[in-house]
Amino acid sequence: MRISTKPSVYCIDVLNLVRRGECATPGDDDTGIRGLLALLEAAAASLHPSSEFRLFLDGGGRRLPVRAGYGVSVHFSEGESADELILDAARYLKSAGRRAVVVSSDMELLGLAREEGVKCVECDAFLSFCRRAAGR
């Protein structure tokens, strides 16, 4: 995957992503999420200024250290799965004329997003992209 020069909204299946690569911390998803946030902040400088990272998690109530100015937002599911939220967000963005990219390794979610005409990236490829963009 290469860094896009187009403004994009990355809809990220967070737990799917943090349980891989350098973000993985067995039994401690919050530490992995903080590592992911730091990686996204570092990578953000290499992206189009209008690009965003939208992080989706099941459940709610976590306080995460998201700093303003990096185009990162966190969304928690309530009564539906994070996968459903990701797909809904991607559909909405596409219908609004914005470029959405679903980031997950959940083949069912990726298949549904592709059926909707939404771009998709698997977690390992996205982590490689972020590491390169962050200069790591």
Q: What is the pLDDT of residues 31-52, one digit of tens each?
A: 777 788 888 888 887 777 888 8
Q: What is the pLDDT of residues 50-61, one digit of tens each?
A: 888 998 988 766
> What's the number of domains the chain is made of?
1
Whether residue 112 has pLDDT greater than 80: yes
| Residue 71 CB partners (closer than 8 Å, separation 6+) | 44, 47, 50, 51, 52, 53
**80 φ, ψ to 5°?**
-145, 165
The model's confidence at residue 68, banded by pLDDT at 50, 70 and 90, is: low
DSSP element (H, E) containing 13: strand 8-13
Q: Return the CATH number at 74.
A: 3.40.50.1010
Q: Does residue 3 fall inside a structural domain? A: no
> Which of 2-6, 54-58, 110-114 is the least confident region?
2-6
Domain that holds residue 15: 8-133
Q: Does residue 99 fall inside a structural domain? A: yes
Q: Does residue 14 fall inside a structural domain? A: yes
User: What is the Cα–Cα distance from 22 to 7, expressed in whole angstroms?
Assistant: 26
Q: What is the mean pLDDT of residues 85-104?
A: 95
User: What is the Cα–Cα distance from 11 to 5, expressed in whole angstroms?
Assistant: 17
Q: What is the mean pLDDT of residues 68-77?
A: 75
pTM above 0.75, yes or no: yes
Q: Does residue 2 fall inside a structural domain? A: no
